[in-house]
Every structure is written in C-alpha cells, then in structure tokens.
Structure 1
Amino acid sequence: MLAGAQVAFKWLLQWGPTLIAGAAIALLGNFLLKKQYRNQRFASQIGTAAHGDIDTERKRDIVNTINPPEDNLKRFTLDELHKCRGGPSNDLLVGIQGLVYNVGANEAGRMFYGPGGSYHIFAGRDATVALAKMALEEGMLNSPPAKWVLLSNEERNCIRQWARRCCSKYPLVGVIDFGQGENEAASKWREQIAKL
C-alpha cells in the first residue's frame, strides 16, 4: 500500500505542474473564445464598422430606437422631469437627447441613478451635454438642443453610445418638451446622431 502511494506521489510531482498548466491554458482559451463570441455578437447587433455595414432595415430600427416617433410618448417639461429623481414615491427618469428613460426600471439603474448613486446628478434632468463631455457638473444639465450642436465629433460619438446603451437597458417613457423650435432641433439632432 505504501509503495502505491509513493508511486502516485512521484507521478504527481513529475506531471502535476504540467497538468495544472494545461488546465489553466484550456480555461483561459475557453474564456477568450467566449468573450470574442460575445463581442462579435454585440458588434453585429449594433453594426460596427469593424464587422461590416449593416443592412438598411437594421439601420432603420436603430434610428427609430434612438429617434422614435414621438406620437405615443408622454411629453415632460423640464420641471415635471425634475420631480422624477427617485425616492419612495417618485419615478427615476433620465433624459438623453430629449428622450426620457425609466432608469429605475431595474436594480442596476436604481443603484447608479437613485439617491446616493454615482450618477444621481443626472436623475430628473436631460443629461445630454454632461454625458457627452463626461462631466458631473450641474451647469451642463438641461442644456437646450441649440447647445448640443456645439459638441465636438468625439463628444457626439460619446452621447451616441450613451443613447444606445440607455435604449438597450431602460424603457423609453417620454420626450422632453423644450419648446417649439427646440423640439424640432432635438428631433433633427437625434436623426443626425443615429446615422453616425
């Protein structure tokens, strides 16, 4: 019995590190393949240039998601939106490019945008300029669409990514009523950003 244990121990000392290294390499390879698959699947869903152009119907779907028809959506004034900053009896809403998302619809959204959350400053406001500039500053909140055109190309791309992220995670519940001329500017802006 003792001789068998000694043989097994010698074999383990000789081959154990090789087996452990092989298992580690196999696990790493599996992880990387899954990650690559997920990235390719996501890229094909949003149609990034790295994976070729997407068909016209898919582009129209993306444009309609980021710049939806406004007929059936609730219109919020900035004052009405400001009341929706979370809390026990309030909705938790955020405006991006004049579209209003219910970020309180899931746990992650409540954690980030709710009272005490790292993005609570954006709750109950249109955060277009602040998110485009990646700035947590009160002065950049509720900027009218006329100021959106001053954003750089890099900032426009950043807000486009935020808009896509929000429309994939949170329900769209309304649009912000900035006033007649500004509402048209917001709609035209969203059309341009969706086509970037």
Structure 2
Amino acid sequence: MADSSSPPPAAEAASVITPINLVLLSLFVVLVYFRLKPAKPQTLPKAPPPTVFRTFTPPELFPYNGLNGMPVYLAVRGRVFDVTAGKNFYGPGGPYANFAGRDASRGLACGSFDEDMLTEDLDGPLDTLEDLGEEQIEAMRGWEERFSEKYLVVGKLVAVGSDEAKAAAAQR
C-alpha cells in the first residue's frame, strides 16, 4: 500500500512549475544569452582628410575661418597653422575668431584682438612687422611656439603676386 502522506508523482512535478520558478528560469536564460552573445565589432572613427602642406595667399587663407564647415587656419610670421582643434577659441564666436583665416601676427604680438590689428587689404603686401618692439616680437614668438607645440603647420603665407604664389598657382 502506498503512503498516504506523500503526494502523487504528478503533484510533485506540478509544484516545480510555479510562476516564480518560471520568472527565475526566464531571467537565467536572458542572462546567459547576454553573456554568450557575440560583441559588436569595434569600428574605428573616420580618419580626418589628409592635410597637404601648401602655399597660401591672404585671399586663399581667408575662407579657412570655420564657417560653412571649413577648418580654422591662422598665420603667424608666415606659418599657417590648423587650429581647428581649438575651434572654441579661434572659430566663429570664439574670443580669437577675428584671427581665423587671417595673419594673426600683429594682433598676437600686441596682445590685441581688435579688427584694426588685421591687414585690411588682402591683395596688398604682407605686414612686415618692422615697427614692433622687442617685447612685442617676443610675445609673438611665444604664441608661435605655443601653436607649433599644439597645432599642425599646414602651409606658408605669401603675398599675392609673389614668385612663390605664382609657382604655387602653377602647380595647382
């Protein structure tokens, strides 16, 4: 005779399948899935376009002011720097924005960000900076050194109509 105190075998099986056990089993299956799921392949960020060292005249440099998706370039003592990484400072709305796409030598030397520090006639001769004092020249060299350490030199600034400008135009 069977023991009357033990439940029949079907009742034991039914007691294992309870709502809480089903929730726990589902959670276990989900955790195992996420643990064993293959990871998404890593993708590298898109490389910036290559920068080619080139010769600029002031009118050619002017569009590189950060507007219309253009990079931000500025020149110091004839060297053109790509300061796009510092767009918050040199790009539109930044404190040094008036130097973008221009020769910033005089303004940096004088510690002035005023428009009158910039060459007005882009087709005219480059600023020779001959009237600057020793302190101003030293300040400008300090800025140039800082730019050299931080930013890429992408070209050189020459006057419109110079032999270098004509040679550069012939190569393009």
Measured against the shorter chain, the TM-score band is 0.5 to 0.7
Tell me the amino acid that sits aligned with residue 91 of structure 2: G
Match of 1:155 among 106, 121, 136: 136
Residue 101 of structure 1: CA displacement? 0.3
Residue 139 of structure 1: CA displacement? 2.1
Q: Deviations over 1:82-120 (max 9, x none)?
A: 10000342111011111100000x2xx111001110110
Paired residue for 1:142?
Answer: 119
Paired residue for 1:91?
Answer: 71
Paired residue for 2:93?
Answer: 116
Tell me the amino acid that sits aligned with residue 141 of structure 1: L
SS at match of 1:147: coil
Whether the aligned pair in 2 keeps the contact of 1:127 and 1:142 (CA below 8 Å) is no
SS at match of 2:55: strand
Q: CA distance change for structure 1 residues 146 and 91 in 2, over 3 Å: closer, same or farther?
A: closer
> TM-score of the superposition, structure 1-length normalised?
0.51
Tell me the amino acid that sits aligned with residue 65 of structure 2: R
SS at match of 2:113: coil
SS at match of 2:128: helix
Alpha-carbon distance in 1 for matches of 2:108, 2:127: 16
Gaps of 5+ in 2: 1-51, 166-172
User: Aligned residue pairs: how many?
Assistant: 109
Paired residue for 1:43?
Answer: none
Structure with more of its chain in helix, by fraction: 1
SS at match of 2:108: helix
Identical aligned residues as a percent:
35
Whether the aligned pair in 2 keeps the contact of 1:132 and 1:155 (CA below 8 Å) is yes
Give the aligned CA root-mean-square deviation in angstroms: 2.3
Whether the aligned pair in 2 keeps the contact of 1:85 and 1:114 (CA below 8 Å) is yes
Structure number with greater Rg is 2
Alpha-carbon distance in 1 for matches of 2:103, 2:135: 19
Tell me the amino acid that sits aligned with residue 169 of structure 1: K
The answer as to 2:57 corresponding to 1:77 is yes
Moved over 2 A (4+): 142-147, 179-183
The answer as to 2:106 corresponding to 1:129 is yes
